[in-house]
Structure 1
């Protein structure tokens, strides 16, 4: 899997086929980052980071800091290995439960979440994430197209996936 644009364009990110995550596809990432436009001087939070590809894309596109939150230690180890090949010194890596992290963390300019499809408490995730946005911030959720949620704007549908967002 490769970074699509920015400083680290075409940089490969390590994906372990044995891991049971669902990395965000290139078409979804392109739509997501096209909708965001500039990440200059923005603090970016990647929840349920999985492969880390979204956070790496954010760093490539100028994010001030990128924080990866992933509960699986093996996944986080893989993210750290991928980060070693990128010349960027503003990564934070935390092995944590995303919902617990959101209850105590600082605010961010951009929060991206790609939880496992079928996560029971999406409403709690949305509520917590929206409270942790800086003024003018945006929360983007990658979820199943079958989720019925309220108060969002839609970026698009991509097969079984949809991208939704909420603004501060």
Structure 2
């Protein structure tokens, strides 16, 4: 199954696929509301507003696999993101990114772009995957990589 055919659920419970983002540059991020890196929501929103009209879509996937840092339900997560960081980029239902229950999207992303020493496992929240307009994973970035540091690669992929 390709990137654009993987079934997903939006944060408000609608079933979809990434086919609506075909032809766009994607920045896919596993996020959490109670993480050291949670303030990155602000920088992600800045990138979203700066490049959405040029063809960038930032996609947030809440995950509670790391230190129970995303304990709330989808409505609580959506409210937090809107109230605290004015997030307007698309958010999806909570998923798992590692292990036997890892979502198919993250299985595809981690196989295409393993981390250090070829390890596919996601190490923490706010791991970022940059995907080109053809749906190919271009790069993977560690949680501590500030979103603004991805801007050069984003501009390159936007052409």
Q: TM-score, normalised by structure 2?
A: 0.38
More strand by share: 1
Ranked by relative contact order (alpha carbons within 8 Å, sequence separation 6 or more), the top structure is: 2
More helix by share: 2
